[in-house]
Structure 1
């Protein structure tokens, strides 16, 4: 074999010499030399240059990646590449206006072509119907309905009587059996009413939509429980009841979610006393463990600069890492430094250990990457002074960097992130029931109640929520202010994101086990329900996995897990799902787009099943894990370790689809509708799992300091001593982007000065030019003194209006558009999986090839 290999290498070298081919050469050069001779010495190789130009154009046009095998070229001739992830511009509004249009895949163009006639027909019918109908002033209708309900509410016993009649009517409608035709007609009527009600603004219309959704859910639950649970075998019964149990979980979470979010409080900040001498003393805790000093410094500088009397504000770094560099920084910055000789109970133990060493009446807590604005304390402390029983004021956790979902699918600041629903709506709904959760950061706690309950809870790994539960059990009040007053870094990778959610899921399951809110003293009924819903939410792992695998029960084994016809299933389940989706779009539209919850749950379901199950069985198992922040990703890659469950589930559903096609074409089944229904279910699972795989394809990220848009006046000091008035475009830690009114000949590396204002004061910062393109100037501010670093944070992250208009560019939810986006994400994810698989195959082949002598 070795002799044969040497002989072939000699023949190849001789042929290359005869054709004038220099080693190493790719296949295209061999083909070129078959038709064109090499040029004479000193002459340009025109055919090779033309071939190279055509080759590069083909790579750009077809979107070829690093893998350039024959199979890859053939694949790209028929399948367009995944949509590129554009670099985020400093100002998204400018980015959307000036960036080139994103490449549209063949799937989206195919969907557009197929659905366009239906859209046009629907639009024409809608215009004709609307033209013949009166056009009411929906805002006036909403105000009139609110006023009427208010007047009725003042009539004695009107509210309880109305609620009783509504419940009795709903039960009667829910339990009335209907034929297929009757159920379809009921859905048509309900849908028409829903489409009218959703146009009416106001809370009364929202409550009406919730009632309609509850009615349709009730009909489905009654029908599902009484008409579909008769099975022909023990296997069918076991699998069927498993699906039924998963559905029961979703019904419970849906009902509790409506209760929790139907009436958000929208609390406004209370006014502080005019004399600062009456303001209380506050300790600011910044716990840290292994985070880099560059992450902690901005938070400390911003905390020192909050608008509060200096003699009543004391900042402490709580260092569980026992690092000399952190101690030296604390001394230089003029803040307190507290450490301990162990890490028992992690963050909760760190804070509890600091309590007896400080004396402020109130304690503000910030994670070490959460940078507060100057107005944080003045916005939050008024609530304590107005309500002596208030023990906790929580503000949102806001992130100025994209999380893995936003970065890997390029949805940052266009689609609400995973946490937007909790901090935008759920916490506001909890506040109505006096059930605001402590979230571990961006909050203020009153010292006396905290000491009364023994400090932060240490029995679970979610010490924050458990601490709030204990405070509420002791009769204390809480408050939630939806205005963003601090911002931090999101998790950088999907593995870190999943690790954080695993801790949350384990901790909530631990609380449910050791301090169940449904039992014990001190809580109101609605506080119990709010806490229970928050804990039950993290048990979605098993139900979601059931939904992702249930179609294969029929497609693989022919099991009837719902014992009725496919048409009856569609007649009951589709109205329930459609109405619930539209209602949730009304409730959550600003904070969670339709169908994105399924994507989030599909990504996390596999990983939270074991932690929650173990926590229920043994609540003391597990330990606290620190979420890594401020990392980098050198290049795109698919996280195969994280992706394994998604790939397996995806393969199971894909094989199910193939089997379903086989049943339709070659089987003797007399249930084509049932086959099609399960195939549609498996196809929907493929979309969600494809999106999950797409998220696991980590996008390259080399920027450590993220840019944040900010348009404020600034002054540029040029090297020749002249000044130029301009505006800032964006900022980051140690950097600034500016828009100049005229072209200025500044080379990269030139030294300039920048003046920024905070209130009535102006600060000067020396800077170095990093870019100067089309009147867009970027500067870097290195080697600043600690005083100037503090001033820079005050003028950027610490501004009171730093995050006021952050969400202005996010679009409101439109269910059909959101469905289209999620389908596109699933398709992109499948393409990314294919690319990563072929890359892995190429790498294996390359490694197994023998090395040349």
Structure 2
């Protein structure tokens, strides 16, 4: 079938019938899109007309290719066939041949047969894996040097693709290494081909733009390879036991730096820190108030904790911490941002490693957030998709730990005082004082550790503007370190540490490359510049292996922590905004200042952030202009250049999808709560003023109230006063509360604390539980195609949202222009088999 369709398409091309050619090409694509679906018809010229009713015309209209593309996308990602056509046992639809699975199955069988004779000669699975790894490395080194034409390169693509798909399903870390090696091979081969054969230096515009794109690709290739090395074997450190003799436990000072945050945000952190399970005489809690506020001082005096201010605010957070070092004398320093609430077992879970390694200077734990970040809130994906930070805290830090290169992240960490003072305290030369401090510790030969267990939780950034501002500070700081204290230079680091630090710093320079990738197809569509000076077929057979293997490998490696294609959306949102601070930092590293991320704010209503989204919208408009020019080029350019047009338009379409997702995030969702609710399932006991008592369950909580699931209706009513006993509290206290709302069996209550001790008891029974954040996010199995559909859906959502914003201004214009709508309606998808009247 597939071969016959290709032959028919070629015959149509030779007959110069462009409409027939497009119809059959559509059938060819649909044959792949609906592969192995029993409802697929026998795709010939009539089958193409069935799937593409828009082309059921005697003559082709100018914009029919656009209608065809919309129909293809709709059929591939949205259209669901009628159930009867799928399940009917009497269907006459012929059985399809899944050629891709046949190839991969054949390769799998051949590899199994090839390795079977070797099994009696190996005594362990480890030796077998090492043998296969050595054989794979030798094969890759040999094939890497072979010159190939398009057919040979295409065959290599299919073979390697089949191997990757087979290996991807195997458990263990060695199959992951094989996938990394395959990806390394095809990506390196692609970059070598790009450097040696695809730059047209004889044409100034082509050469200049081609070199710019090549530079961006080389950057992406370096980040890809460094990332593979960084995460090739995550350490996955376990908890180390403390000595049974409490007299051997060291003294710990807990620092909670604050600047302008509301007291309501900081209270839970202070109370939880004070209640951490550690010998009382060896635990001291200090609030470091750079805001110099009287209400904070009074609150600290009420709880009996230390309150430290300094005469100036030099060096922002780093200076605040360094001043506190001179005022305290604990052997270890635990640091928590003012909104990061620690669990009561934080020190017992982390301090054991310091007894295992005398050279250990730092134990870092993940930054966990119980509130949604702007992506999660604005796209409604909170707790059902990995957030932006999970890749770093879930995988990269564990990978760094393998190489003794885990970073200090500024909070939720314990540092040993002596090494910290030896390097001059917290680094003040850059605005990312945390990573720079860890770099200094590693240069002095100290060890660091990462314990991948969430032992504290805080608030994520409240708005997209705050989120971008925070990432701009991180990006500027990493560029400053790269410029002032480059990890590739100087003494004290091994090669793995140099690469881990360099990858972290180079990653934040992705603003320029990301913008280049977003605009690259416009060079050909708008300017006619051949920035990749090679036949379209060669571009496809070299670029596709690079793209496919990188995505397959990252899907297997990162799937639990970041779904496929989401990185492009995250990076696109930030690209424009981190470009300037990183560029300035590379040339003038001492410029720029520390900006504090706001916490505890409200978003009173939905609104579209035009200021933040302006760069994305400009890119969308330019890309749409390029798409229009691409359609025109397709019909006017020579036949042998049409595939080049198609490749650039497919690239541009993908960019438009990603830009649509960036636009979707720019619409801020309403957030009226300053105290975020955390979903839980905790048994409680309720006693009413009339002394009726019954059991219930707490289904969510915040610092100010809880949600209750009652055993039956009408047990409580608004305005009623009750007492709540939380069974998991360390000390049983009856907390007074007032019922605010009731809806069937669900009640919302506001807590009425009589004193600070009651409030602290509630914090320890909720935020401070040892298991509070374990199993917080059930990880779903990552499917690249499903992720692609999601990203496409959010891209379309972005265009819907911006259309809703501009519709009120355009409505008067369209009110009396019904004929425009009639013509726009011709672009809407049509159910297969229903011809559209012209």
Report the TM range for the smaller structure's normalisation.
0.7 to 0.9
Q: Distance in 2 between matches of 1:136 and 1:333?
A: 68
**Residue 728 (structure 1) shift:** 1.6
Matched, 1:214 2:184: yes
In the other structure, the counterpart of 2:4 is: none
In the other structure, the counterpart of 2:633 is: 663
**Residue 122 (structure 1) shift:** 7.6
Equivalent residue in structure 1 for 2:603, among 618, 633, 638: 633
Q: Distance in 2 between matches of 1:201 and 1:433?
A: 23
Matched, 1:193 2:163: yes
In the other structure, the counterpart of 2:368 is: 398
3-state secondary structure, aligned to 1:671? helix
> What aligned pairs does 1:527-676 form with structure 2 within 5 A after superposition?
527-667=497-637, 670-676=640-646
In the other structure, the counterpart of 1:770 is: 740
Q: 1:145 to 1:388 in 2, by over 3 A?
A: farther
3-state secondary structure, aligned to 1:762? coil
**Residue 171 (structure 1) shift:** 3.3
Deviates most, 735-744 or 814-823? 735-744
3-state secondary structure, aligned to 1:712? strand
Matched, 1:113 2:79: yes
Q: 1:513 to 1:767 in 2, by over 3 A?
A: same
Deviations 1:802-843 (A, max 9, x none): 0111012x4221100000000111110011112122356789
**Residue 275 (structure 1) shift:** 2.4
> What aligned pairs does 1:308-323 form with structure 2 within 5 A after superposition?
308-323=278-293
Equivalent residue in structure 2 for 1:290, among 260, 269, 281: 260
In the other structure, the counterpart of 1:150 is: 126
TM-score by length of structure 1 reads 0.82
Deviates most, 183-192 or 255-264? 183-192
Matched, 1:788 2:764: no
Deviations 1:259-308 (A, max 9, x none): 00110000001001112222111000000000000011000000011111
In the other structure, the counterpart of 1:236 is: 206
In the other structure, the counterpart of 2:791 is: 822
Contact 2:714 2:744 in 1 (8 A): no
In the other structure, the counterpart of 2:679 is: 709
3-state secondary structure, aligned to 2:326? helix
In the other structure, the counterpart of 1:471 is: 441
Deviations 1:114-171 (A, max 9, x none): 899999988977899999999999xxx9x99998453479xxxx89x976x7655423
Deviations 1:747-783 (A, max 9, x none): 1111011101346642210011122222122211034
**Residue 194 (structure 1) shift:** 1.2
Equivalent residue in structure 2 for 1:813, among 767, 770, 782: 782
Matched, 1:384 2:354: yes
Q: Distance in 1 between matches of 2:812 and 2:351?
A: 59
In the other structure, the counterpart of 1:485 is: 455
Contact 1:320 1:343 in 2 (8 A): yes
3-state secondary structure, aligned to 1:726? strand
Matched, 1:425 2:395: yes
Q: Distance in 1 between matches of 2:74 and 2:688?
A: 50
Matched, 1:330 2:330: no
Q: Distance in 2 between matches of 1:518 and 1:609?
A: 22
Contact 2:133 2:178 in 1 (8 A): no
Q: Distance in 1 between matches of 2:773 and 2:76?
A: 40
Q: Distance in 2 between matches of 1:490 and 1:575?
A: 38
Q: Distance in 1 between matches of 2:555 and 2:420?
A: 38
**Residue 652 (structure 1) shift:** 0.8
Contact 1:663 1:669 in 2 (8 A): no
Q: 1:248 to 1:676 in 2, by over 3 A?
A: same
Point out 4+ residue stretches in structure 1 off by more than 4 angstroms: 105-110, 114-137, 143-147, 165-168, 666-670, 839-845
Q: Distance in 1 between matches of 2:363 and 2:555?
A: 28
Matched, 1:503 2:503: no
Matched, 1:721 2:691: yes
Q: Distance in 1 between matches of 2:788 and 2:73?
A: 14
Q: Distance in 2 between matches of 1:577 and 1:834?
A: 32
> What aligned pairs does 1:63-74 form with structure 2 within 5 A after superposition?
none
**Residue 202 (structure 1) shift:** 0.4
In the other structure, the counterpart of 2:54 is: none
In the other structure, the counterpart of 1:339 is: 309
Q: Distance in 2 between matches of 1:742 and 1:145?
A: 68
3-state secondary structure, aligned to 1:806? coil
Q: Distance in 1 between matches of 2:638 and 2:109?
A: 54
Equivalent residue in structure 1 for 2:142, among 172, 192, 198: 172
Deviations 1:668-698 (A, max 9, x none): 5641111111111111110111111111111
3-state secondary structure, aligned to 1:704? coil
In the other structure, the counterpart of 2:197 is: 227
Deviations 1:437-479 (A, max 9, x none): 0000000000010000110000000000000000000011000
Q: Distance in 2 between matches of 1:503 and 1:166?
A: 43
TM-score by length of structure 2 reads 0.83
Aligned residues: 731
Equivalent residue in structure 2 for 1:181, among 151, 158, 162: 151
In the other structure, the counterpart of 2:768 is: 798
In the other structure, the counterpart of 2:56 is: none
Contact 2:657 2:796 in 1 (8 A): yes
3-state secondary structure, aligned to 1:631? coil
Contact 1:637 1:836 in 2 (8 A): no
**Residue 177 (structure 1) shift:** 1.6
Unmatched tracts of structure 1, length 5 or more: 1-104, 846-853
Deviations 1:367-405 (A, max 9, x none): 000000011000000011111110000000000111011
3-state secondary structure, aligned to 2:272? helix
3-state secondary structure, aligned to 2:143? helix
Q: Distance in 1 between matches of 2:590 and 2:607?
A: 36
Matched, 1:692 2:662: yes
Deviates most, 267-276 or 477-486? 267-276
Contact 2:200 2:206 in 1 (8 A): no
Q: Distance in 2 between matches of 1:668 and 1:245?
A: 30
Contact 2:730 2:764 in 1 (8 A): no
3-state secondary structure, aligned to 1:428? helix
Equivalent residue in structure 1 for 2:805, among 836, 842, 849: 836
Q: Distance in 1 between matches of 2:744 and 2:97?
A: 43
CA RMSD of aligned residues (A): 2.9
Contact 1:283 1:316 in 2 (8 A): yes
**Residue 325 (structure 1) shift:** 1.0
Q: 1:276 to 1:591 in 2, by over 3 A?
A: same
Q: Distance in 2 between matches of 1:448 and 1:760?
A: 34
Q: Distance in 2 between matches of 1:831 and 1:341?
A: 52
Contact 1:456 1:467 in 2 (8 A): yes
Q: 1:415 to 1:332 in 2, by over 3 A?
A: same
Q: Distance in 2 between matches of 1:384 and 1:654?
A: 58
In the other structure, the counterpart of 1:92 is: none
